[in-house]
Amino acid sequence: MGGYGLVSCYGTGAQAVVEPLRARRPGSAPLTGLQLPLPEALPVNRMDPQRYPAGMAGTQAAMLAAAHEALTMAGLDRTHALTDCALVLGGTGSLAIAEAEIRRVWERTGVATALPVTSAGAMARQLATTLGLDGPVFCLATACASSANALLVARDLIRRGQARRALVIGAERLSAITLSGFQSLLLLDPAGCRPFDAARRGLQLGEGVGALWLEPVPAGHADSGRRHRFHGGANLCDTHHMTSASPDGGAMARVMQAALTQAGVAAEEIVAIKAHGTGSADNDLAEAAAMKTVFGARVPPFTGLKRGLGHTLAACGAVETVAFLACLDAGFIPPTAGFEAFDPALGVQPLVPAQDAPAGIYLYNFFGFGGNYGTLVIGHG
């Protein structure tokens, strides 16, 4: 992983998240600007367009800002030719555009069959053209595992020789459809999400764009000079339920173990875990059970980032990976904002406060609706 970039509720640039996450400072604000039957004080974590680079606006601008940061960190300025380079996008960043167009057509015609289809794939293709990437372009939509799966796809493209390098982007913008859907499931916590807390009541939605640059380690160069190495990962699709996890965490445990096996890493080698940690009753219960299944009585320190960043849904695989890497590079494992009280039903509790981040191998969990689960294994230092 040669470089990373981020646009989040804390601002543009990966460094913008470091001190707020260290201090457990939420990046949320009350929901405004959408005419919806939702509580006015509902906390959401939104990107601020006023913090984008001058002359840029919208989802595409945030994607470009994150991409340029990742490329710059990788030592690639805008004069470098990005030949034989793939782009893999995970997210639903164009949903708000589609929603607006659908509304306009519906109001004009009143005919449901006249509704157009707006594809996030078009946004991916436009981004590839703007950046000058001439390799394969993919757009994945697998719920909250989308951009984690995008990283796995990009790695496979490189390993199979279908691309020499890859840029992976996860993007998510909030829309009326998204907010209304989660509210209809009674999954939003008006007090803000509390990952793994005894009083947890639900999610806190967010926006964000994360970008990661992948390149192969040169033959015979185990130490490539890069600080982060993508050892591997795994994904699966569980069929337990459309929107909730099996309480025993069986499928989550299987994907975590599969990721370790694929990466050639033993459970006892894991330094810490970036947990999915949505703050919902079922998901946190299942994830805690899964970690105990995989690691036994000695679960490594684990942390959740969603009170700080919000749940960026399809983008969280990229957004949270970048945020976690930025904190590791600053020398610490971030604590879990929103956690206050131990839940005996879980039997484990997340990291509070921050602790020093040693070199080693870390596990990253992403568990989405529809049983879409992904786990990544990434080395630091």
Concatenating the DSSP letter of every residue in 147-205 gives HHHHHHHHHHHHHTTS-SEEEEEEEE---HHHHHHHHHTT-B-TT---TT-TT---B-B
Structural element, H or E, at residue 98: helix 95-109
Strand 302-303 vs strand 270-274: parallel, antiparallel, or unpaired? parallel
How far apart are the C-alpha atoms of 155 and 362, rounded to whole Å? 17
pLDDT of residue 274: 99
pLDDT of residue 116: 46
Q: What is the mean pLDDT of each run of 10 residues along the chain (381 residues)?
A: 96 97 93 70 81 61 94 87 90 59 71 53 85 92 93 96 96 85 88 96 95 85 73 92 86 98 98 98 96 97 98 96 98 98 98 97 95 96 90
The region that residue 327 occupies, defined by phi over 0 for left and psi between -120 and 50 for alpha, beta otherwise, is: alpha
Here the CATH number for the domain that contains residue 303 is 3.40.47.10
Structural domain of 8:
3-380
Encode burial over 283-299: b for 16+ CB neighbours within 10 A, e otherwise. Answer: bbbbbbbbbbbbbeeeb
* Three-state secondary-structure class, residue 87: strand
pLDDT of residue 185: 86
pLDDT of residue 367: 96
Angle between helices 176-184 and 95-109 (to 10 degrees): 100
Task: Give me the number of domains the chain comprises.
Answer: 1
Tokens of 86: 């793939």
Contacts of residue 367, defined as CB under 8 A and 6 or more positions apart, other chains included, come to 144, 145, 245, 252, 276, 283, 286, 287, 373, 374
pLDDT of residue 361: 98
pLDDT of residue 81: 80
pLDDT of residue 61: 87
- Cα-based distances in Å from 268 to 301, 350, 361, 362, 376: 12, 18, 10, 11, 16
- Cα-based distances in Å from 315 to 109, 146, 169: 34, 7, 8
How far apart are the C-alpha atoms of 56 and 59, rounded to whole Å? 9
State the amino acid at position 357 in one-letter form. Answer: A
Cβ proximity of 373 and 235 under 8 Å = yes
Cβ proximity of 85 and 134 under 8 Å = yes
State the burial class of residue 117 (Cβ atoms within 10 Å of its Cβ: 0-12, 13-18, 19+). Answer: exposed
pLDDT of residue 363: 99
State the amino acid at position 194 in one-letter form. Answer: R
